[in-house]
């Protein structure tokens, strides 16, 4: 047996009509003709925009038609429906929906003209003063009432109105002659009040006046209110994948006297309004400290001392520095003209990425002072920690080569990869485009990192916009100049276009085989991919150590004001990672 087709869902296309095949299954739905002109006429009648297709199936319910008159076979439909059979109703030719009770079609009436309204008002007033024709029986009542009013001494205007009343009939005198004078006089004197009639007339009396236009200058008190603060000068900072070449300057961790002099001169230029106290008592002279009360000074000293005690107990958690490496703080303070507390503030900001307000509360300084300390101290500390990022000789790399590399990849001298850090969206559209990362779906800075097979960071590039490709960064950052000849570099599949650049340096690229849907991988290629992925995980572990510094998390969203010093933060973090425990044990 053939399967029964599911009934097509019908609904009435008239706006504001709620009828459909589910809510009103007993109603008849007429199909709308598919002729575009007829459909347009139907839409105009039912107040619907003509945005329907000529091939779509549309219906209109029976509520908008007179079924008895608008259909051809209504009688047949009625008889067959009583017998339980289905018959389709057909509309007469040219019939369109004409009943729209579901819509409010109250057209606004025409406004009444001022002349017409005034004329109606005057006619009502005249009608109220006028009286209908009186018969002979009511003449006496009218005349006696008028006579009483005239005798009572009314105003002249009213007497004239009584004499010249247009409503008085001419036969009233003849009728009065029939009645005796004495009788009429008695009736007038005794029953005057009984013949009076009251009429209510509503009149809108308006005093006569003349309109004159007068120009007046109204003065009000005005005060100047500042609605927005004074705008501070700001600068949009963006990164570009193309950077000018800079001369590499090697700095020693323990500088000579000439190095110390140059660094001190830089420090004096950067912080001309900021003079630190002696580093022995770990105190800092702030410009606004003189305005603090004794209670505030005591509170700041307590907070600073408690934070320094916490750092002494947990340097790894608060600074990212192990206890066995804590002597590095003393070495840095001796070789850099910075107080120890400035170095601690910089490392704590790098490790926990706390706001300057929280750091100001912990160390007892103002927020602006903490910001100046961080921006001044970070480049100085990074210039010293950069010497911990060294490129060992091939002999040293081979001595520390892990066992997993010695069988097949003993000539690998470097493992490279790229990582990204999210930044705030720049306001400049060009910088937005340069920093947009299609992989992270946000604005990022991109860095190339290289490590030896045992996990020592031997190269870190400057920051590039997230739009830059991996091969472009390798070609521009100076990494190829550090490679010795006849060595191998291990990388991911994303560096497949790096082979010709390494071939020009007499080096080879070790990466997993390419994968495509048309050509499935062989068993050997799958094994090779797993083998290389297991060895390339070393650089991923190094990147994870860098991510322990919360300022370098993937979605840290670095403030655009800190973008100029983010390269120094990366350098400082790489130096701290290199003095940690061994990443890969033999």
Instruction: Pick 325 or 251 by higher pLDDT.
Output: 325
The tens digit of pLDDT for each residue in 530-574 reads 999 999 999 999 999 999 999 999 999 999 899 999 999 999 999
CATH topology of domain 394-577: Nucleotidyltransferase; domain 5 (3.30.420)
**Beta-strand relationship, 29-31 and 457-460:** unpaired
Rounded Cα distance between 24 and 62, Å, is 11
Q: For position 585, what pLDDT does the model report?
A: 66
The tens digit of pLDDT for each residue in 175-217 reads 433 334 444 444 444 444 455 556 666 666 666 666 666 666 6
Q: For position 584, what pLDDT does the model report?
A: 75
The yes-or-no verdict on residue 369 having pLDDT over 60 is yes
Q: For position 131, what pLDDT does the model report?
A: 56
157: helix, strand or coil? helix
What average pLDDT is seen over the chain? 77
Rounded Cα distance between 273 and 143, Å, is 114
Q: Which residues make Cβ contacts (< 8 Å) with residue 576, sequence separation at least 6?
A: 320, 321, 385, 549
**Domain limits, the chain:** 7-103, 137-193, 257-388, 394-577
The gap from C-alpha 422 to its chain's centroid, in whole angstroms, comes to 19
Rounded Cα distance between 276 and 176, Å, is 129
Q: Which of 40, 41, 44, 48 is closest to 17 using CA atoms?
A: 48
Instruction: Pick 13 or 265 by higher pLDDT.
Output: 13
Burial class (CB in 10 A: 0-12, 13-18, 19+), 512: buried
For the chain, the helix, strand and coil percentages under 3-state DSSP, each to the nearest 5:
45, 10, 45
The yes-or-no verdict on residue 244 having pLDDT over 80 is no
- Contact indicator for 552, 528 with CB cutoff of 8 Å: no
The tens digit of pLDDT for each residue in 304-342 reads 999 999 999 999 999 999 888 888 999 999 999 899 999
- Contact indicator for 482, 451 with CB cutoff of 8 Å: no
Tokens matching residue 86: 């289905």
Mean pLDDT, rounded, for 50-76: 87
């Amino acid at each position: 047996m053939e399967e029964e087709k599911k009934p097509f869902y019908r609904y009435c296309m008239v706006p504001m009509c709620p009828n459909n095949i589910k809510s009103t299954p007993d109603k008849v739905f007429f199909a709308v003709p598919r002729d575009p002109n007829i459909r347009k006429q139907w839409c105009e009648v039912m107040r619907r925009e003509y945005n329907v297709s000529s091939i779509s199936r549309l219906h209109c319910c029976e509520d908008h038609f007179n079924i008895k008159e608008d259909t051809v076979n209504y009688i047949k439909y009625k008889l067959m429906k009583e017998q339980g059979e289905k018959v389709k109703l057909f509309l007469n030719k040219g019939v369109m929906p004409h009943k729209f009770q579901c819509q409010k079609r109250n057209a606004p009436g025409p406004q009444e003209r001022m002349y017409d309204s005034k004329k109606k008002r005057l006619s009502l007033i005249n009608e109220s003063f006028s009286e209908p024709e009186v018969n002979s029986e009511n003449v006496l009542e009218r005349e006696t009432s008028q006579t009483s009013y005239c005798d009572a001494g009314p105003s002249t205007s009213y007497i004239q109105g009584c004499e010249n009343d247009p409503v008085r009939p001419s036969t009233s005198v003849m009728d009065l002659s029939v009645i005796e004078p004495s009788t009429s006089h008695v009736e007038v004197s005794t029953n005057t009040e009984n013949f009076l009639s009251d009429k209510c007339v509503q009149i809108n009396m308006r005093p006569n006046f003349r309109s004159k236009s007068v120009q007046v200058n109204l003065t009000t008190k005005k005060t100047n209110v500042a609605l927005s603060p004074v705008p501070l000068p700001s600068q949009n900072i963006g990164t570009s994948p193309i950077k000018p070449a800079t001369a590499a300057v090697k700095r020693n961790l323990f500088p000579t006297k000439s190095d110390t002099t140059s660094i001190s001169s830089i420090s004096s230029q950067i912080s001309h309004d900021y003079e630190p106290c002696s580093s022995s008592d770990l105190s800092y002279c702030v410009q606004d400290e003189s305005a603090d009360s004794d209670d505030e000074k005591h509170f700041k000293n307590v907070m600073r001392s408690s934070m320094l005690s916490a750092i002494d107990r947990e340097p790894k958690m608060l600074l990212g520095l192990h206890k066995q490496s804590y002597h590095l703080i003393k070495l840095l303070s001796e070789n850099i003209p910075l107080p120890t507390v400035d170095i601690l503030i910089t490392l704590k900001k790098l490790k926990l990425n706390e706001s300057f307000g929280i750091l100001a509360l912990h160390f007892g300084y103002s927020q602006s002072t903490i910001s100046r300390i961080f921006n001044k101290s970070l480049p100085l500390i990074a210039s010293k920690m950069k010497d911990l990022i060294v490129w060992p000789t091939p002999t040293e790399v081979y001595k520390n080569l892990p066992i997993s590399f010695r069988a097949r990849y003993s000539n690998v001298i470097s493992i490279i990869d790229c990582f990204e850090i999210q930044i705030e969206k720049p306001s400049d559209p060009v910088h937005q485009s340069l920093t947009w990362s299609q992989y992270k779906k946000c604005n990022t800075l991109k860095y190339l990192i290289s490590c030896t097979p045992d996990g020592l960071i031997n190269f870190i590039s400057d920051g590039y916009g997230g739009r830059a490709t991996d091969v472009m960064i390798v070609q521009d950052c100076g990494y190829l100049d550090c490679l010795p000849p006849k060595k191998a570099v291990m990388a991911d599949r994303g560096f497949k276009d790096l082979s010709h650049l390494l071939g020009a340096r007499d080096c080879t690229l070790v990466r997993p085989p390419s994968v495509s849907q048309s050509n499935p991988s062989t068993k050997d290629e799958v094994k090779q991919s797993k083998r290389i992925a297991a060895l390339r995980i070393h650089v991923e572990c190094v990147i994870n150590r860098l991510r322990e510094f919360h300022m370098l998390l993937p979605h840290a969203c670095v403030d655009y004001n800190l973008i100029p010093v983010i390269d120094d933060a990366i350098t400082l973090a790489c130096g701290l990672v290199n003095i940690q425990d061994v990443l890969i044990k033999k």
